[in-house]
Chain A
């Protein structure tokens, strides 16, 4: 509703242009543009490291209504490369709010844009797939559109991008167990969200968070009861180090749990391929079915890549038989893997939620059971 006719422009690599007004910092940014269909949890989304180098477009029209607070971020900063919304809130209204989203974006230098056509944009991305894009505002917006498209085309794409090391912690740190300590977990940070170690800590895990480059030796040196590989940005095909580290962990027979990027690394460690989805899954309403129980969880997703695995039954891997444990009922995409003869499993979606429903938090219990069973 702000009657400021300042202009900003969103330019896609295929030449489609959306005009709007600046939101957050004024300037220029490029990245892979993706859409997120969650109606709540913009603060968690913005701070999710898996969104590194991506411009996130929200399909929910009103963003920023509840402002920002100290408790909800999933990492120390806003991670997205750019932000596209329809209706930025004029005021923040929530008892926990400590500031407005607009100022938070500005303070952290995140360039955003408000455009009327977020739905048209989503339909475009749904049909053409995720692609590179740029947001240009202020002086940057005055350049001819053709030049802007050139600038977008000059930016690196997501395929082959190894980004985990860019967003992960440089130094190991420990998240202490809440209540009595029952397990030691080595968690490899490939872009971890803070809710993940918290969910484990709630269950009595002392979580040693390690940098993305952690080797199998470094991981096993902690003598962990279980090893965890987190979510994270980038192309799993470019994460050979992580795959090698995980193979070492699996060789050692330590219980393993992976989420999202961790699921893709697990897949690659098992010798499976990964591929880029046309537009990915980003939202908090995806139906995932546990193929063993038939039970459906409504789950939080944020992935542009997926594992290519046979869904019609168990298959052989270097670590014995494995199976696809979960599938997405919308598109049949692989959402979880499990070894049948060793204590290792992973899911493509986000049981830690934040943002999103808590239907799948039981997976952390399953991890704890595996660790208990291995004692």
Chain B
């Protein structure tokens, strides 16, 4: 069945900001879909509020709407664009939910838009628990398959519960019906637990009803990735086995592909069930996944759930097999069948087959618990990881060890240093799933625990445990090898994934010495191809991974090569934005005649799509792994340069050592990077340029730090050197806090001192991205933060062009940026953070690399900054790029015309994901440490509307009616009156704290006084403002922080309010500028003036405006 000819335009919905559980993988899938549809000659209309994505690049769609993904906004886009079809399965749950809402509201029918690649009935059958259970029962009965759902019984009395327990057996899950957020649920391990949990559950449930369900904790967990076309051809793309058994969210589990501990009978039964289920559910076309639990002792199989769309696992499966699920799903949606689609990798065989692997893939999650002090680091069925790394090896051990070192976290790799510890204590720790549990297991077995003991503690399949025992044995062999390591011993260790650093640690040698020895013995990795077919057919697509195997498959290169180092696993502070820059570099350098080579280990990204670069190495970004890739590329051709500036701190941190090893690092030199990152050296750069930094000092002890603070005055900003994402940064107001900070800080970064800066209160913070070729500066964009200085730039909203800065300010910023770029010796991108306080411009920091804001600036100004940077790094000048058309012929992002669109970036925070061990939400205080996982952009003609859009995209809509709570610092009271009055005029009920209410009252605005959080509930139980927010009584919060963030007082009050706002998803304005903005936004929304406009239209208008200038 060839492609449908009745479709000429398709709307694709993206997944919005990166949040935990819905991340960069949807940029990967969405980008693939857009490319496929466009290549098929369809007009592609895209909506996604996340500017840090490749899919929102204007080239990928015909009309790109960076607008909030809400049913009403998408309906406006549909009304304007009138697409023939809507493809909702590639943008995660966000896209699917939006599409279903549009279907249910009748909007799709009204505009004659067909839903393709999805069937609403099927989605509902797949997502509704009870209906899905029915589907499973039906196919199992009809086809005689071994499949069930977890057994459960509904009970209304304790007697019924006890009878049910006799049937289901302990432990079991108790779930009261119809309680808020599943309150009162728990695990009952015995009758005592059951009486306690079910007793309170029966009482809590409005229907006196509890659901008792058998526990499948500790069962083996599997997932199959399935594709179906409209001719009912079905293939299983990949099987994935979770090393962590049931009880840990798949996203937080270490997972392995293919499944390694199933016999063919068990696997085929699973496959049959998967296929029967998706047929019964009626999945239209495309990809979906199904999860299974298998009892380790009996093989009983339970079908847990299915996702009727492309998912995080689909991205993983695509990278693990070379079978591009999203791309194929897009083709199936427009009518092709699997047999009509060629397999890209072999070019000769069709996509209607099942990939077979001759390697093992391991994915490990990356967590960010260090960012959320107090958060329970235990792993549950609620996903908490912020990113992941994947590795490929020719055996499980090699893949696992590569994956663990890909995490780039201290202690993430197995270690055989020192004493293993107490096996009993280690197994006790391992019994509770947590980040690092596998290290506990490894050390416990190293200390003598048996596989049986480790299995009893963890339920991890003995086969995996034995593999880890095997690693311990190899480590022991390396340790006890006589005088020098023999070639055999070394090769054996390398074949099981040991890094030079690990071997060095065991032998008491440096990593470099091990590497020299290894090279002297001729022990080097070869690079093998991910080819979907275990070498049965020749592969056309060079998607490579290293292994200490026999034959390298790196093809010889003819053109000069550029190696781009990616950014590794996503983490807070280093996410999809850096991938964006790497991908752009690859695209533009390919156009400029280079062969592009990408190195990265993050399966969620576009950079690790085999389509992105001429060659992809799926490898850890450690010095050892990168050096070997460079060596392999040098063996097969000429390496013109290695780019370290675009992937964030990960590659930047390797720059000096790469250069020392003779690698041609291009762009800003490692020595220049040092000038920017070393406080003393940077101070001299500033001095020469005549620029000011806030007063500061460098401390290695609390006494040092206290003396510096005494000299420059509190508050001070303290942080370790060489960090990204403000890790370990804090604003400190007194000696005591400073003392405890210094105690922690030495752990954060033992090799580097702590920086103590004067903190500028009431300053405007400014972010600048600029490009410098050694002679000419191109100011990419100047962003004015909406929040007060002191909140990490990654967490604060900002506007571009700046909304309150004058020409004089901009001139000073330009001059300062140019002086810094020249002083540091930048070749490529640089990001500078300034603070403007009382008319004085301070330089907070300069980073000679691509920043988080590069994609935002590129989209807001319609200039491909990362592409230009990559070219400059390879020797092009700004003038040449202007002449070529890659950069505008005249002007730059620092002097945008008055009617240029205004773009607002807003951060999205993951606080709702983290709880303390006691079940309380963690502190959501924003500060100099970055916590956001993603961002959105609102773009429109005027600031108010753009701001409204950013809020809507991040939090849902700004309210147009309801209650506003106002509590502002004294300094803000004058400025607050007018906008609050306007809100009152618009019909809002105003709540305020006492002082604020008085000021409002005197100015003719009636405000109801509410109790402060610190005051506690009133004598008659009057709730505090925090309670009211939590109860959903407040629709908008205006709270400007003041006072010092000590243990109590107004500052704490503000934070408590903000925490509550985040939990309830209530928009919260923290500056008077923000308030004015919000009011403008509310007026625009209330007046129905918020329209939609594509980036292409904005760019055309901007070009028009520039031409008029």
Contacts and interface: CB of A to CB of B under 8 A. Distances in A.
Interface of A: 1, 3, 5, 18, 35, 37-41, 43-44, 59-62, 65-66, 69, 71-72, 86-87, 89-91, 93-96, 116-120, 122-123, 126, 283-287, 289, 294-296, 298, 329-331, 353-358
Interface stretch (B467-475, B1032-1040, B1074-1082): B467-475
Contacts, number: 181
Tell which of B264, B355, B536, B538 has the most Cβ of chain A within 10 Å.
B264
Interface string B509-552: 00000000000000000001000011111100000000011110
A204 to B, nearest CB: 15
B462 A330 contact: no
Contacts of A286: 353
B265 A285 contact: no
A285 B263 contact: no
Interface stretch (B101-109, B231-239, B425-433, B728-736): B231-239
A329 B233 CA distance: 13
Would you list the 7 A-B pairs with minimal beta carbon distance, nearest first? A41-B264, A1-B470, A117-B550, A59-B534, A355-B264, A93-B463, A40-B264
Contacts of A66: 261-263
B414 interface: no
B394 interface: yes
Nearest to A40: B264
A298 B229 CA distance: 14
How would you classify the secondary structure of chain B's contact residues: helix, strand, loop or mixed?
loop
B911 interface: no
A119 B360 CA distance: 13
Nearest to B470: A1
Given A1-B471, A60-B534, A284-B354, 5 more contacts: A43-B264, A89-B463, A120-B551, A284-B264, A287-B349
A3 B474 contact: yes
A66 B267 CA distance: 12
A253 B337 CA distance: 38
B1075 to A, nearest CB: 60
B466 A91 contact: yes
A240 to B, nearest CB: 32
B496 interface: yes
Interface stretch (B8-16, B294-302, B767-775, B817-825): B294-302
B128 interface: no
Given A72-B264, A122-B534, A39 B356 contact: yes
How would you classify the secondary structure of chain A's contact residues: helix, strand, loop or mixed?
loop
Interface of B: 231-233, 235-236, 258-265, 267-268, 271-272, 295-299, 337-339, 348-350, 352-360, 394-397, 451, 461-463, 466-467, 470-471, 473-474, 477, 488, 492, 495-496, 528, 533-538, 548-551
Contacts of B272: 358
Tell which of A40, A90, A294, A295 has the most Cβ of chain B within 10 Å.
A40
Nearest to A361: B272
Nearest to A92: B463
Contact of A329 (B261, B268, B350): B350
Nearest to A122: B535
Contacts of A122: 358, 534-536
A86 B394 contact: yes
A353 B268 contact: yes
30 contacts: A38-B356, A59-B356, A59-B536, A60-B358, A61-B360, A61-B394, A65-B260, A65-B261, A72-B264, A72-B265, A91-B463, A93-B261, A93-B462, A95-B298, A95-B299, A116-B394, A116-B549, A118-B358, A120-B549, A283-B356, A284-B354, A284-B356, A285-B354, A285-B356, A287-B349, A295-B233, A296-B231, A296-B233, A298-B235, A358-B272
Contact of A94 (B263, B352, B466, B528): B263
B533 A295 contact: no
B358 A329 contact: no
Given A295-B231, A329-B350, A91 B462 contact: yes
Contacts of B474: 1, 3
Contact of B349 (A72, A295, A329, A354): A329
Nearest to A89: B463
Contacts of A5: 488
Contacts of A358: 268, 271-272
A134 B816 CA distance: 74
Given A61-B358, A356-B268, A41 B263 contact: yes
B258 A96 contact: no
A119 B551 contact: yes
Nearest to A39: B258
Nearest to A353: B268
A294 B395 CA distance: 38
Contact of B360 (A62, A93, A117, A123): A62
B272 to A, nearest CB: 6
B260 A62 contact: yes
Contacts of A356: 264, 268
Contacts of B533: 37, 285
A86 B299 CA distance: 27
B265 A295 contact: no
A119 B357 contact: no
Nearest to A66: B263
Contacts of A69: 263
A102 to B, nearest CB: 13
A285 B395 CA distance: 21
A358 B276 CA distance: 12
Contact of A119 (B261, B267, B461, B550): B550
A92 to B, nearest CB: 8
Given A37-B536, A330-B353, A354 B264 contact: yes
A201 to B, nearest CB: 14
B496 A1 contact: yes
Nearest to A329: B350
Nearest to A123: B535
A117 B352 contact: no
Contacts of A1: 397, 467, 470-471, 473-474, 496
Given A60-B358, A90-B470, A95-B296, A285 B232 contact: no
Contact of A330 (B233, B263, B537): B537
Contacts of B260: 62, 65
Nearest to A293: B231
A65 B267 CA distance: 13
A94 B261 contact: yes
Nearest to B350: A329
A364 to B, nearest CB: 15
Contacts of A94: 261-263
A150 B451 CA distance: 46
Nearest to A67: B263
A44 B535 contact: no
B551 A329 contact: no
Contacts of B537: 126, 330
Contacts of A285: 353-356, 533
A358 B259 CA distance: 18
Given A93-B463, A94-B261, A117-B551, A62 B350 contact: no
Contacts of B359: 61
A38 B358 CA distance: 9
Contacts of A91: 451, 462-463, 466
B244 to A, nearest CB: 16
